[in-house]
Structure 1
Amino acid sequence: MDKDSALPIISATEHPQQIRIARIEALGQDPVIRHLPAPTANTEEVLVRIRASALNFADLLKAQGRYQEAADPPYTPGLEGAGEVVRAPAGTGLVAGNRVAVYAPATFSDMVAVPPDTCLPIPDSMSFEQAAGFQIAYGTSHLALRLRAALQPGETLVVLGAAGGVGLTAVEIGHAMGARVIGVARGPERLEVVRAAGAQAVIDSAECDDLKAALRDLGGVDVVYDAVGDSAGEAAFRALRPGGRFLVIGFAGGKPPVLPLNHALVKNIAIHGLYWGGYAKLDPQALRGSLQELFVMFDAGRISPVNGQVLPFEQIQQAFQLLRSRKSVGKIVLTM
């Protein structure tokens, strides 16, 4: 254990001189924890003591230099977290001690200074660990299924990568919206988690040689939620019924699917890309409204985040390796 892991726990009202900060010091390398000066918020920023931060597949891609939004080392990874307000500007509606979710870069740090519009109060019933991994995963699925795909009760939704941090939320939200959900994931143990999240049918991708045929045998598909890409995405696309919608979410399989656009034309299929982070500029009100609706759904017990892997901050390298192995179920969260 290095010297940084021995730092004392600080409260929401304290402002230490130094804190622990994870750093990617070269592309292709995992992060290391450094002991660096604490941030000082300017008059327009909120200072937040981070209690938990979630790892996303985008963090892996960015560290490898393969993400659409490049980062030059050294930089601090992390895209979302949760904690307590230490200090906030007047007029923001935030005060010291407020429990908030934070969507901003560099959340793998004991403390961050961020714009007020990146902070959103969380329900009292939600833990910091739940809130840390809630925004991107649930926000992506909610915006994709409700806004882009306009998923209707009784329609059939197939989720590729259904046991992943984002895929499980699509299963859960799709079920809550009244859809018939088919979850595709690897291995019986992960499929049990998918079924528990609300999937009425599951397909083991490790045992399925013809995904298109398997989906057609289950009656066909109205909406594809594709977080995998590659050949699985193409196979699911070919199983879409006329008027279907294909949601491009991510490429955990390594590359985008090759979609036959002539099928999209003949079958009136709509293809929607969904980059949740882009909505911060494209339509910030839609993004914020979606999260607020999700927090209400959580507080009412309509959605319940699956407990993923929760590790201490000092194990950030193990967390990156766990995500890289694609053996995790749900979100990987580090506690500070």
Structure 2
Amino acid sequence: MTATVHRLKTTTPSLEPMLQLVAGDMAAVNAVILDRMRSDIPLIPELAGHLIAGGGKRMRPMLTLASAQLIGYDGTRHHRLAASVEFIHTATLLHDDVVDGSDLRRGRRTANIIWGNPASVLVGDFLFSRSFELMVEDGSLKVLKILSNASAVIAEGEVNQLTAARRVDLGEDRYLDIIGAKTAALFAAACRIAAVVAERSEAEEMALDAYGRNLGIAFQLVDDAIDYVSDAGTMGKDAGDDFREGKMTLPVILAYARGSAEDRKFWKDAVEGRRAGDADFAHAISLVRQTRAVDDTLARARHYGQRAIDSIAGFADGRAKDAMIEAVEFAVARAY
């Protein structure tokens, strides 16, 4: 039997099919999240709840649930594991906002601005601990290995990004290593664990892993592109945050490589923190447009998005597969 070939759409996609697909399961996941956020220390659920209730799409746990439906799993183990995935993600966000000094996330003040850095770090630690409790309760050593490895890889990616900050000589290969670790690793693990609990083949595990990994890379490429083409209302963070933090994202890497000597001097000064004003950011936007750096970043995102879609070509056609394909299309289309 020949699998249907799917290609990225040119029409505007939606995440709604995914939301509808997993709605019932997500209610169970949310119940686990609320239960495991509880603590006798009032600050913990207050601070964690601020971020968890902050309007995020919960893409990662949705991927666990959708992957389970794709392969026909009809148990309930994936509910707790999807909650575990969300706790890992939320913990990393709390820590990232402290490291980056961010003051806005999803259009709201960050937890570190409201409660301070120490509280944000410690509640992040609490959520990591809750995540590992849920993994242990599941009882699968393989699931524990996959998710604990993803947590370690995420941390390595964040440290790699930290050491690469304000380094104008950062190349595309290292950049891809960074986003593959800090973003794509959890997307991959979130999808793969569904095949583990369903006791499916190694080939199906790795197909779901590849879907999540390529989607995660595409997702981050788009995030990095829209820092230069969007606004705070669209992005949920301040426009130009990456620029002011001296991050060598792909649009900057490409614009620097393609720029004149004068342009390169500007980028060096900007990345090293000497050109961080509004006028400097406006000039940076003009340079990434002139060099087609954003266009090419988004072209790469479409490439990885297509790889994600191709990864699940061998699974049976149906509602779950359609929703997972459209989720990829939605992730790529956010920049348009």
More strand by share: 1
More helix by share: 2
**Which of the five TM-score ranges fits, normalised by the shorter chain?**
under 0.3
Which fold has the larger relative contact order, with Cα–Cα distance below 8 Å and residues 6 or more apart in sequence?
2
Q: How high is the TM-score relative to the length of structure 2? A: 0.25
Q: How high is the TM-score relative to the length of structure 1? A: 0.25
